[in-house]
């Protein structure tokens, strides 16, 4: 596994290599590969900007035949968020008052803005979002927060940017007064990198498990297997091939926009497969249920297409609805993009689209779930390679 980090900052690369060395065979900056391409950061959040950079560099490498199958392109976006300034300067931290304006001027301007703020009103934090864009199209994020308060005057020479004005009460110092070792152990970037390290280790282990579990295990008693799909839009060839590929299955869940193919798909899956379909926004005149609640193992699951819960923007409304119903898992479709994340205590799962995928790599996707002996669910995000 090779990590390519979209940065010019050599000190940042040193920190990355210190933290990530045991999860990658090689860690390089994009400059070291001769990449001088600079994507435009026009996102509305730290996460959007880091993903713009990481995925743009990935596509650049792909188009220039530089991308290996196990490459991961990483990028970060960070900034200072001040409560009194309603979260500003935030994603505009480097451009605050103009990119050519010195940080001495920027820092004093923020201090002046807070001249009437006292105590907790001066709360602020550094945020860092790191995006990892896999060569196979997957994208993951981690975030780190470095909390403090805005100082009454700048102090310290060890940092840069806004470090001299973020005061850390527990250390009685500003960020710029910390030693490099102290800062790296508690900084927003250090936290995000350590979480990314943990995540990449988990993904590597999970990928190894998935490669074993997609095919039935012949040497062990077979566990119940659940195929979860969505948004086939009556283009059923891929789905039928996936059914054949992952047989035997015990349950098939379709999360909407089947567009009238439910009877033929039930028949194709077989009489011994329990099938659950919910109605999507394109299932006009359908008598399929809009929502279902079922039990898989020891988990109560909420099934819905998701368009009535605004999942294209945010899954928190869906998660809250599932939690209100006493459900542990919320399955949804509609976005045509794979998604699996715990939100407000509910595992929210979208298998993506088996027919019309919309994620960057445009690979048809599905979810395969094993019900383990203890009733827990083992999720395997999988993809179908169209011939």
C-alpha span between 81 and 68 (Å, rounded): 37
Annotation says 314 is catalytic: no
C-alpha span between 55 and 265 (Å, rounded): 36
Residues for the chain: how many in total? 387
- Cβ contact 249:297 at 8 Å: no
Token representation of residue 145: 């927060």
Query: Cβ contacts of residue 143 below 8 Å, gap of 6+?
Result: 46, 47, 127, 128, 129, 130, 192, 195
What angle do helix axes 262-269 and 237-246 make, rounded to 10 degrees? 20
Query: Cβ contacts of residue 186 below 8 Å, gap of 6+?
Result: 146
Token representation of residue 53: 């950079």
Q: Which of 71, 76, 77, 129 is catalytic?
A: 77
- Cβ contact 68:135 at 8 Å: yes
Report residue 132 CA to chain centroid gap.
Answer: 9
C-alpha span between 40 and 320 (Å, rounded): 35
Which DSSP string corresponds to 170-185?
A: TTTEEGGGS-HHHHHH
Coil vs helix vs strand at 387: coil
C-alpha span between 176 and 224 (Å, rounded): 56
Query: Cβ contacts of residue 57 below 8 Å, gap of 6+?
Result: 4, 6, 30, 35, 37, 39, 73, 75, 133
Coil vs helix vs strand at 192: helix
C-alpha span between 324 and 316 (Å, rounded): 12
Q: What residue has token string 């152990």?
A: 185
Torsion (CA) 115, 116, 119, 125 in degrees, nearest 10: -50
Integer-rounded Cα Rg, in Å, for the chain is: 24
Residues tagged active-site? 77
């Amino acid at each position: 596994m090779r990590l390519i980090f979209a940065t010019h900052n050599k000190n940042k690369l040193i920190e990355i290599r210190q933290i990530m060395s045991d999860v990658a065979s090689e860690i390089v900056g994009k400059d070291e590969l001769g990449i001088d391409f600079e994507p435009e950061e026009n996102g509305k959040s730290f996460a959007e900007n880091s993903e713009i950079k990481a995925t743009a560099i990935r596509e650049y490498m792909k188009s220039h035949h530089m991308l290996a199958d196990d490459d991961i392109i990483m990028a970060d976006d960070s900034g200072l968020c001040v409560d009194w300034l309603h979260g500003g300067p935030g994603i505009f931290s480097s451009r605050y008052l103009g990119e050519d304006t010195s940080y001495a001027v920027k820092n004093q301007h923020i201090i002046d803005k807070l001249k009437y703020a006292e105590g907790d009103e001066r709360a602020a934090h550094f945020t860092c979002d790191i995006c990892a864009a896999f060569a196979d199209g997957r994208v993951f994020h981690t975030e780190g927060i470095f909390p403090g308060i805005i100082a009454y005057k700048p102090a310290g020479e060890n940092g840069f940017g806004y470090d001299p004005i973020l005061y850390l009460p527990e250390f009685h110092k500003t960020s710029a007064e910390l030693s490099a070792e102290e800062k790296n152990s508690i900084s927003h970037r250090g936290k995000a990198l350590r979480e990314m390290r943990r995540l990449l280790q988990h993904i590597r282990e999970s990928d190894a498990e998935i490669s074993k579990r997609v095919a039935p295990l012949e040497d062990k008693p077979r566990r119940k297997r659940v195929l979860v799909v969505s948004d086939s839009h009556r283009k059923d060839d891929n789905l039928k091939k996936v059914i054949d590929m992952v047989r035997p299955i015990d349950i098939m869940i379709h999360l909407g926009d089947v567009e009238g193919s439910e009877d033929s798909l039930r028949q194709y899956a077989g009489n011994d497969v329990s099938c659950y379909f919910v109605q999507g926004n394109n299932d006009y005149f359908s008598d399929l249920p809009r929502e279902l609640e079922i039990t898989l193992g020891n988990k109560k699951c909420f099934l819905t297409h998701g368009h009535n819960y605004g999942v294209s923007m945010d899954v928190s409304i869906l998660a809250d609805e599932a939690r209100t119903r006493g459900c542990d898992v919320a399955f949804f479709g509609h976005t045509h993009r794979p998604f699996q994340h715990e939100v407000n205590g509910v595992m929210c799962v979208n298998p993506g689209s088996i027919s019309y995928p919309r994620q960057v790599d445009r690979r048809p996707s599905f979810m395969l779930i094993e019900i383990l002996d203890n009733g827990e669910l083992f999720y395997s995000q999988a993809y179908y390679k169209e011939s």
